Structure 1
């Protein structure tokens, strides 16, 4: 790509989108947005201080308490969702380019994935306007006419991470809008541009003032937003450590929460499944998609002990053949990590894994021929102790651990022996058996012969992988409050 093509064009980078307008920042403080392949600054966006964050919440509060949005019917709100979906589809290339520049995903993967998630999320929820049970007729124990009503939870703070900012914004905001909520979007400082592009679209389609607000800020202001008494609901995607802090802050005022947190997801390769075939699914797909910077990645590969060495070698062969480089180059098969800090975190875990006695079979270092960019080699460890830090801590980078199991029951125990429970997979040619094993795994999603997470159905985790679900009908219900209305007289 040319230098011009590697820039990110934003209409109002020095502003915040608050109350239906672009408000200039009160200072020159800004975040530099880096191209993670070159370490060059490609954009600068305004840094919100506490006052700007408070203005965003105030605007959302007024829009909810006094504006038209919560008082529209779901069908009327769905019209706006359809308009947003069309504009998102038209802006597909802008979102995909920004994703590759900020987070390192291969551009040829980013383009269809953006198309798969953004417009589809808004269209799915627009369709739910006519199918979701917002009002249900019931009969009370006393025989009175009653209604079960679902109403918007109120002002929503949507905190979006850097690894999949556009899609995760869509699955937080689309159901909130259909529900009748107003929203403050807080993107990551490392990857804020998709939120700005989204705000531009909301402005173009004419959402009422205050329904969508966007401010990019640091952790201290984010914490103030979480604690703000006018924020009714927080939906957060990020690390388990940050989720614990948010949960503690919200508990003091009983704020509603949806937390999609970390993972250390297992893949159980059963004895009947071919090791080479499993390795292709687990290795190439994992390394090549966002360089392992995905919360639901299958990073613990649990195999029969007799097949441990074969799996290590198969994954290592895939790792050695991966081509790190520019995400916009068709020859590249693995892009960079998003930030220097993230690469340093991966390096610390690799060092720790070696110290713990695991066998480094492939990778484990920065590519020598790439002097710029946050690159790290695809890495495979064998002989990993399931209780080691390497197997228990989320790394968020291109590192796979192979763990030997003595039996299928042992494999299930190993899979469940973690604080996390986000995703899992079972590799076997017997679908009925796969279902039986899946029912024994403590995870929010279990795929058969691949990672098969699906936001259109619902996504979230067990244990410390989170609270609640995003996507599907459950994702909508998480943004609604249930009310029972019992009438003394039947309606005329």
Structure 2
């Protein structure tokens, strides 16, 4: 049974609006390759209107502006959004699955996380009221000093297609909790649920202009947003190449940015693991979200003593992974998001073969699926550190395997990358896990697991994986300005110019 795709416009100043130039972008179902609807395509003219709406909401006269409202007031709206998301979970999960190819059970999990993230930042917003002013001790009694945290202003949020609504929420929820107003530009390859977030905001009565949502292409909508003189901050999740462009555009106006970019994360498996448990975490760490996850632990470093048995386990597990339309019960691997992404991943695989690697499992379209952008879960061995497949982010269901003999060698191989987002270590020796945790040059470490994420904990990386953090108190700080206030409290004159010199 076909799922109806809502026809939406741009969401600006609390209302649906057709894009100024009237353009729309087709929605392609990655499982069937069929066009199932379309989304509006914003341009620079629409960005200007949305930014003005956000500025009015931030600075609105009469004490009704979003920025000066109490955290408790803003929390009521965040909780109402969470409740409405939960109410619409079955519908939103299905829309997500057919839009980006994510298995339905995964998509439902994501929608739960969306609601949980709004709830969490509602709590954070409420706590802001008691923490807004922080006294500072200074060495001169004639002065009192305190620090105030205030919302930055209008923020631009540019988000990816692999977790369409969840990645948007990671930025929207803390931005709104802080008192900022926002313009969200989701990826044109998966925008349906972000437009439904706009509908949720309209339903719960979010004040006009507080959140504006513009769908469209990167050059036509994302670039004007990043370079807009009245946008006070850009937060971006996506590729390192695009992040570099956004950083360059923001630099022209000395505009702060937060960048959560690509990765090529290692998972290090030592000889003392339970092979079955370790095999499942290894595959989950790489194939979750159809392999399209920036933190995917797609470089497997396995101790040489267990490598043959462990790789054999991995192949058997792969053979049992159900690859199907994401809406089918039990689906564990859906299609990649687009024909372009399919071609990119397949090119990585063919280049690996040309460079001398062995495609141990997968590496092709599943035989039972003639349509859709499906790729078998792929395991590649005989990999060297100079190969493209080992160095570059694939963003598809591809796992590279390399062995090591010592802990020191494992550390060196794990850190030998331009990225620094995540890393995992699997071992029963917790002291060794602690050493590896300290040695990894990353922002996120998983011990005896891979990929779990909680909205209370910071998320982000280093090196070419970006800087700044989403989630937790660190995510809120992205949208706050720290202001020092110093007051002279003495009744005495300062006396610098009137008193005689004491030199």
The TM-score range, normalised by the shorter chain, is: over 0.9
Counterpart of 2:498? none
Hey, what's the Cα distance between the residues in 1 that align with 2:45 and 2:175?
A: 24
Structure 1, unaligned runs of 5 or more: none
| Ranges in structure 2 where 5+ consecutive residues have no aligned partner | 491-503
The total of aligned residue pairs comes to 483
TM-score by length of 1: 0.95
- Asked whether 1:173 is paired with 2:167, we answer no
* Alignment equivalent of 2:95, drawn from 91, 95, 98: 98
Q: Secondary structure at the match of 1:296?
A: coil
Give the superposition deviation at 1:307.
2.6
Instruction: State the Cα deviation string for residues 308-327 of structure 1 (Å, max 9, x = none).
Output: 33333222222222231111
**Relative to 1, partners in 2 of residues 1:245 and 1:264: Cα closer, same or farther, differing over 3 Å?**
same
Map 1:268-347 onto structure 2 (within 5 A): 268-284=268-284, 286-287=286-287, 289-347=288-346
CA RMSD between the two structures: 1.6
How do residues 197-236 of structure 1 correspond to structure 2 at under 5 angstroms?
A: 197-221=196-220, 222-236=222-236
CA contact (8 A) 2:240 2:261 kept: yes
Distance in 2 of aligned mates of 1:190 and 1:136: 44
DSSP 3-state at the match of 1:127: helix
What does residue 104 of structure 2 align with?
A: 107
Partner of 2:431: 432
- Rate the CA distance shift 1:234–1:377 in 2: closer, same or farther, 3 A: same
Larger Cα Rg: Structure 1 or Structure 2?
Answer: 2
1:51 matches 2:48: no
Per mean C-alpha deviation after superposition, the further-off stretch among 266-275 and 278-287 is 278-287
- Asked if 1:74 corresponds to 2:68, the answer is no
Correspondence list, 1:363-378, <5 A: 363-378=362-377
What is residue 42 of structure 1 aligned with on the other side? 36
Deviation at 1:247, TM superposition (A): 0.9
Q: Is the 1:312–1:361 Cα contact (8 Å) retained in structure 2?
A: no
TM-score by length of 2: 0.93
Bigger drift between 21-30 and 261-270 goes to 21-30
In structure 1, the residue matched to 2:163 is 164
Please give the alpha-carbon distance, in whole angstroms, between the structure 2 residues aligned to 1:77 and 1:141.
37
On the 8 A contact 2:10/2:40 being kept in 1, the answer is yes
Query: Counterpart of 1:443?
Result: 442
The CA distance in 1 between the partners of 2:240 and 2:175, in whole Å, is 23
**2:235 matched to 1:238?**
no
> Per-residue deviation at 1:402?
0.6
Q: Could you say what secondary structure the match of 1:306 adopts? A: coil
* Alpha-carbon distance in 1 for matches of 2:72, 2:431: 41
Corresponding residue for residue 123 of structure 1: 119
Looking at structure 2, the residues matched to 26 and 138 of structure 1 have their Cα atoms a distance apart, in angstroms, of 50
After TM superposition, which residue ranges in structure 1, 4 or more long, deviate above 4 angstroms? Answer: none
Which residue does the alignment assign to 2:500? none
Indicate if the aligned counterparts of 1:107 and 1:327 stay in contact, CA closer than 8 A: yes
SS at match of 1:414: helix
Identify the match of residue 18 of structure 2 among 21, 24, 33. Answer: 24
User: CA–CA distance in 2 between the matches of 1:187 and 1:313?
Assistant: 40
1:345-388 deviations in Å (ceiling 9; x for gaps): 10010011111211110011112321111101110011211232
Distance, in Å, in 1 between the alignment partners of 2:464 and 2:306 is 31
Question: Counterparts of 2:457 and 2:218 in 1: how far apart (Å)?
Answer: 31
C-alpha distance after superposition, 1:101-129 (max 9, x if no partner): 011111122213311x1111111111113
Distance 2:457 2:332 in 1: 30
Distance in 1 between residues matched to 2:309 and 2:254, nearest whole Å: 51
CA shift in 2, pair 1:285/1:433, >3 Å: closer
Helix, strand or coil at the partner of 1:277: helix
The DSSP-based 3-state class of the residue aligned with 2:105 is helix
Q: Deviation per CA, 1:237-263, whole angstroms, max 9, x where unpaired?
A: 100111111111111211111111001
Q: Give the aligned partner of residue 85 of structure 2.
A: 88
1: CA distance between counterparts of 2:341 and 2:469? 26
The structural deviation recorded for 1:401 is: 0.5
